[in-house]
A = this chain, B = another copy of it.
């Protein structure tokens, strides 16, 4: 088997060893995940503002695509809450809810998202996900959980309410609160209670009654599907739909025709930023889940191939009437605990959903939307992590600020705005942090050939030669700071004739820093000081040789700072080297664990 093909189709690797034992385990896991996925996919489609059946469609072909192209053995792909929220927040302001244009735009969004992910794979742009720093993701998740819960309350209460942020949703909910529909609220509240109890208590209760722990935990996971069936039964038996309890209604039976989503170029351009955001957030979440579970079995995932897996899953969703998808945490946990061995479990889950679409959709006619809303709320509130704010703030003010800004933006303005605000703030703070690298004046440690910070050690300084060490690569965030600092230090040493820049910590000098070095050299010249370099690393030296800097700057490049001083001021250097190593000169000895240079 050619190596390239094996990389492109990771399924070939496990498919060759596939056996009956794996098939049984994968099959069992698939049954349980299917039972979980039915309510989830209906609910997340509703959350995205789409007909519930689109959630089911998004749980068939996309799962098969990931089975073929993904590298995680356990990741469960499909509709997910935050992706559904992003979809709704993008499409809500553009189209009427429930309209054909809205649904068509969701397909286009899935198509774009798939395209973006595959383009990132092709161009090796997975590093773009780094823009979403952890505080931003965490803040986004918590704020989304609050926003989604606020948005679903109307279904629980059986009222109208709208708004794309908390400032709009809360007043709207309060305004319509008097219209609360009691039978709906009864169903919604009891479902919430039931789901909460099955999630938190059922497994323990079953274990106390002698069931083994793994089976009890899996059984507890089927709570939502049980709630769904119970609610359908109750609504049907008492014909509650006639009293005004909102139900899902007619769900088309059978498969959607495979079709190309309508490609409106100007709409595509409008949706592209949102598609990029959906892709990045989906990718970050998915890879982090996949990596966690791969580690449990000492398996490996390949991030770049994951882009292919998720990208093809989204394309499959776009072509089969689905919605944007990604790898989700909750179903992956269940699949793993149920013993799934290979991605074939995903394909078998797809089979389960396909059977549901073929035979069971009429069942959902009497399913109350309040039950779906309760399913969403109980699932999403696990993402809410308020304590993370304090924890992050204590650890680092900058990271805490980025997290709070993201949350505030998502809650008070708009989901995308919040994420962009957080990313922008992360970048700004990052730039601020790296724009002032540690720059030390160094002197010779008596009795040695070493050079150390004059502020920390009693060292010998040459009156003629100013030695400066930079502890950072030189690039555009700090190029101008370097100019400022060196001008300042040169001004403080009016007798200096030479300035040696010691570069052991410089891994890169970019074009901005090169320009700054040229400016520094010229300005030092103008004030009668010659610039030199020392301890320049090989790759940096190679790059400098591709410019004219070394020919023009007039100074030398020394192998070591000692050699530089021995050449430029031999008398001081000889005197310092002869001094006793442990004599009176070594006054300031740094203590144990501190930075010792």
Question: Which residues of chain A have a CB within 8 Å of any CB of chain B?
Answer: 127-131, 133-135, 284, 287-288, 291-292, 294-298, 300, 303, 391-392, 394-396, 398-400, 403, 426-428, 430-433, 435-436, 438, 471-472, 475-481, 483-484, 487-488, 490-491, 494, 505, 507-508, 510-512, 514-516, 519, 522-524, 526-527, 536-539, 541, 543, 546-548, 559, 592-595
Contact = CB atoms under 8 A, between A and B. Distances in A.
Nearest to A528: B298
Nearest to A433: B508
A113 to B, nearest CB: 20
A395 B291 CA distance: 38
Given A134-B479, A476-B133, A512-B134, A431 B298 contact: no
B399 A510 contact: yes
A594 B536 CA distance: 9
Nearest to A287: B480
B395 A133 contact: no
Contact of A483 (B291, B484, B491, B541): B291
A424 to B, nearest CB: 11
B488 A300 contact: yes
A298 B298 CA distance: 62
Chain B CB within 10 Å — which of A426, A476, A488, A547 has the most? A476
Given A538-B595, A593-B559, A595-B539, A135 B396 contact: no
A538 B594 contact: yes
Contacts of A527: 295-298
Given A133-B511, A296-B527, A538-B594, 14 more contacts: A129-B480, A130-B481, A131-B431, A134-B512, A287-B480, A297-B527, A298-B491, A298-B527, A303-B480, A395-B543, A399-B512, A537-B595, A539-B595, A559-B593
Contacts of A128: 428, 431
| Chain A to chain B: the 4 pairs with minimum beta-carbon distance, closest first | A295-B523, A399-B511, A133-B476, A134-B512
Given A135-B512, A395-B546, A484-B303, A296 B526 contact: yes
Nearest to A494: B298
Contacts of A295: 487, 522-524, 526-527
A593 B130 contact: no
Nearest to A491: B300
Contacts of A507: 438, 471-472
Nearest to A548: B391
A156 to B, nearest CB: 33
B426 A476 contact: yes
6 contacts: A127-B432, A130-B477, A291-B487, A298-B494, A394-B546, A427-B427
Contacts of A538: 593-595
Contacts of A481: 127, 130
A84 to B, nearest CB: 24
Contact of A476 (B134, B400, B519): B134
Contacts of A129: 480
A251 B369 CA distance: 73
Contacts of A510: 133, 396, 398-399
Contact of A523 (B291, B428, B477, B478): B291
A340 B475 CA distance: 35
Contacts of A398: 510
B487 A519 contact: no
Contact of A430 (B394, B476, B516): B476
A476 B541 CA distance: 28
Contacts of A478: 130
B396 A511 contact: yes
Contact of A435 (B130, B400, B479, B487): B130
A511 B291 CA distance: 19
A505 B595 CA distance: 11
A129 B477 CA distance: 9
Contacts of A536: 593
Contacts of A432: 127
Nearest to A302: B484
A505 B487 CA distance: 27
Nearest to A431: B130
A310 to B, nearest CB: 15
B433 A392 contact: no
Contacts of A592: 559
Contacts of A400: 511
A268 to B, nearest CB: 20
Contacts of A438: 507
A534 to B, nearest CB: 11
Nearest to A129: B480
B392 A511 contact: yes
Contacts of A537: 594-595
A422 to B, nearest CB: 11
A522 B296 CA distance: 9
Contacts of A296: 523, 526-527
